Structure 1
Amino acid sequence: MKITFALAAAGACLIGFFPMVAEAADARAGRQKITTCQACHGLDGLSKNPEAPNLAGQIQGYLVKALTEYKSGARQNETMNIVAKDLSEQDMADIAAYYSSIQVDVLPP
Structure 2
Amino acid sequence: MMKRGITLLGGLLLAAMALPAAAVELGDAERGAELAGTCQACHGPTGNADNPAFPRLAGQHADYLAAALRQYQNGERSNAIMQGIVSGLSKQDMRDLAAYFSGQQGDLYTPER
Q: Do they fold alike, i.e. is TM over 0.5?
A: yes
Seen in structure 2, the aligned counterparts of structure 1 residues 105 and 30 have a Cα distance that, compared at 3 Å, is same
For 2:89 and 2:34, locate their aligned partners in 1 and report how far apart those are by CA, in whole Å: 13
List structure 1 runs of 4+ shifted beyond 3 angstroms: none
Equivalent residue number for residue 95 of structure 1:
97
Secondary structure in structure 2 of the residue aligned to 1:61: helix
For 1:74 and 1:58, locate their aligned partners in 2 and report how far apart those are by CA, in whole Å: 20
- Number of positions where the alignment pairs a residue of Structure 1 with one of Structure 2: 91
What TM-score comes out, normalization by structure 2 length?
0.71
Q: Does 1:53 align with 2:55?
A: yes
Equivalent residue number for residue 82 of structure 1:
84
**Contact 1:21-1:60 at 8 Å conserved across structures:** no
Task: Indicate the RMSD between aligned Cα atoms, in angstroms.
Answer: 2.3
Once the two structures are aligned, what percentage of the paired residues are identical?
A: 44
Where does structure 1 lack aligned partners over 5 or more consecutive residues?
1-7
Equivalent residue number for residue 25 of structure 2:
22
**Contact 2:57-2:101 at 8 Å conserved across structures:** yes
Structure having the larger proportion of residues in helix: 2
Secondary structure in structure 2 of the residue aligned to 1:37: helix
Secondary structure in structure 1 of the residue aligned to 2:38: coil
What TM-score comes out, normalization by structure 1 length?
0.74
For 1:22 and 1:90, locate their aligned partners in 2 and report how far apart those are by CA, in whole Å: 9
For 2:101 and 2:77, locate their aligned partners in 1 and report how far apart those are by CA, in whole Å: 20
For 2:73 and 2:90, locate their aligned partners in 1 and report how far apart those are by CA, in whole Å: 9
Larger Rg: 2
